[in-house]
Amino acid sequence: MADDDLEPRKRRGEALTALAKEDLSLLGIEELEDRITLLEAEIDRIRDQLARKRGSLSAAEAVFKK
């Protein structure tokens, strides 16, 4: 049995909550800049997913509106 199977699953948003609680004063300038770059990429990924879901919703509404 893999060790991953024994660990409890993380709830949605738990990683984001933990990230938001991190002490940023311990990070250097380059680390902070890298974090911003990664977070901006994640925001773009989320916006893309949101646009896809909105498109799917609009398509479904159009089908059932008739």
Contact criterion met (CB below 8 Å) for 28 and 35: no
DSSP-derived secondary structure letter, 22: S
Instruction: Quote the number of domains for the chain.
Output: 1
In a domain, 56, yes or no: yes
Range of the domain at 43: 26-66
CA distance 46 to 54: 12
Q: Which residue has the tokens 């004063």?
A: 25
Closest-CA residue to 33 (of 41, 20, 17)? 41
The pLDDT tens digits of the residues spanning 1-59 come to: 566 677 777 788 899 999 999 999 999 999 999 999 999 999 999 999 999 999 887 77
Whether residue 39 is contained in a domain is answered as yes
| pLDDT at 23 (0 to 100) | 96
Q: At residue 7, what are phi and psi to the nearest 5 degrees?
A: -85, 140
Residue 13 lies in a domain: no
Asked whether residue 20 is domain-assigned, the answer is no
